[in-house]
Amino acid sequence: MNLVVDVGNTLVKMAVFENHEILFDQAVDAQYFLEKVKVLFAKYPNISQAIVSSVGQIGQKEAKILSLFCTVHELTHQSKLPFKNSYATPQSLGVDRIALAAAAFYKYPKSNVLIIDAGTCITYDIVNDYGEYLGGAISPGIQMRYNAMHQQTAKLPLLTPSETLDYIGNSTENCMHSGVLNGTAREVDGVIDQYNERFEHLTVILTGGDAQIFGKRVKNSIFAHSKILLEGLNYLLEYNKR
């Protein structure tokens, strides 16, 4: 059994895999990470390997304690990768994006795949049909856009996402919701259009915590896959065992 740990900017996601099948997954606050680890190993004592992908707040102390339970691989740009990485600055490539590229490579072999991860930031990552990771783009996420309007103006309120029925807002709050949600959806559609012009038979995957908020607003054909990053990490763990 494998334990996959994805440390994001707000939550720690954990999943237990056996033969590439997810037996358990959960997201917890970072402060409860070690407590949950102990519970997991009590429930799944056959976990022998773990992989940690961290862009957040889990530190060396937590990683060291996890290593007392099993062998731990920390994902970095120096980890072995099954695909060709053509990123100009591989040392700066986020480990979450590496995991998404691995998932695209394994789940959609010999295909052009664009993965859009709608999280704190919105990332776009492309793996071509030659099994080569080319890069992509990074854009502000939905809540980041709300925060910016509130923090960088004198009177605009701080909002959280809310469904809007019309793209023409009839109040300040509705205008802000329309600008963020409809604007983000049009951005995503525009990016997909660009990639469709360059890559034939493009497969588009949408994932991340905010995917459901605006996924239905995107006009292009997409596949929603909430756990593809976890699956990518498990693929990488298996690959680095060799």
Task: State residue 58's pLDDT score.
Answer: 65
Task: State residue 212's pLDDT score.
Answer: 87
Query: Measured between alpha carbons, how far is 63 from 52 in angstroms, rounded to an integer?
Result: 8
Task: State residue 227's pLDDT score.
Answer: 94
Task: State residue 86's pLDDT score.
Answer: 97
The range of the structural domain enclosing residue 221 comes to: 84-232
Task: State residue 11's pLDDT score.
Answer: 83
> Which of 74, 92, 118 lies at the terminal end of a domain, its last residue?
74
Task: State residue 57's pLDDT score.
Answer: 62
Binding-site annotation, residues for substrate: 87, 94-97, 172
Phi and psi (nearest 5°) for 52?
Answer: -120, 125
Task: State residue 162's pLDDT score.
Answer: 85
Task: State residue 27's pLDDT score.
Answer: 92
37-46: long-range pairs with CB below 8 Å, 24+:
37/65, 37/66, 37/69, 40/3, 40/14, 40/16, 41/69, 41/70, 44/1, 44/3, 44/16, 46/1
> Cα-Cα-Cα-Cα dihedral of 195, 198, 200, 206, to 10°?
-10
Count of the separate structural domains present in the chain: 2
Q: In terms of domains, do 110 and 214 share one?
A: yes
- DSSP strand pairing (132-140 vs 2-7): unpaired
Q: What is the CATH number for 61?
A: 3.30.420.40
Q: In terms of domains, do 33 and 88 share one?
A: no
Binding-site annotation, residues for K(+): 117
Query: Measured between alpha carbons, how far is 23 from 21 in angstroms, rounded to an integer?
Result: 6
Which letter does DSSP use for residue 18 in this model? E
Note whether residue 107 is domain-resident.
yes
Task: State residue 48's pLDDT score.
Answer: 95
Q: In terms of domains, do 191 and 132 share one?
A: yes
Show which residues are catalytic.
96
Note whether residue 59 is domain-resident.
yes
CB 163 within 8 A of CB 176: no
Query: Measured between alpha carbons, how far is 71 from 165 in angstroms, rounded to an integer?
Result: 51
Note whether residue 242 is domain-resident.
no
pLDDT of the chain, 242 residues: tens digit per residue: 999 999 887 788 999 999 899 999 999 988 888 899 999 999 999 999 999 998 766 666 777 888 899 999 999 999 999 999 999 999 999 999 999 999 999 999 999 999 999 999 999 999 999 999 999 999 999 999 999 999 999 999 999 998 777 889 999 999 999 999 999 999 999 999 999 999 999 999 999 989 988 777 899 989 999 999 999 999 999 999 87
Task: State residue 59's pLDDT score.
Answer: 63
Q: In terms of domains, do 182 and 63 share one?
A: no
Edge to edge, the sheet with strand 84-85 lists: 84-85, 132-140, 121-127, 113-118, 203-207, 223-224
Binding-site annotation, residues for ATP: 6-13, 120
Binding-site annotation, residues: 6-13, 87, 94-97, 117, 120, 172
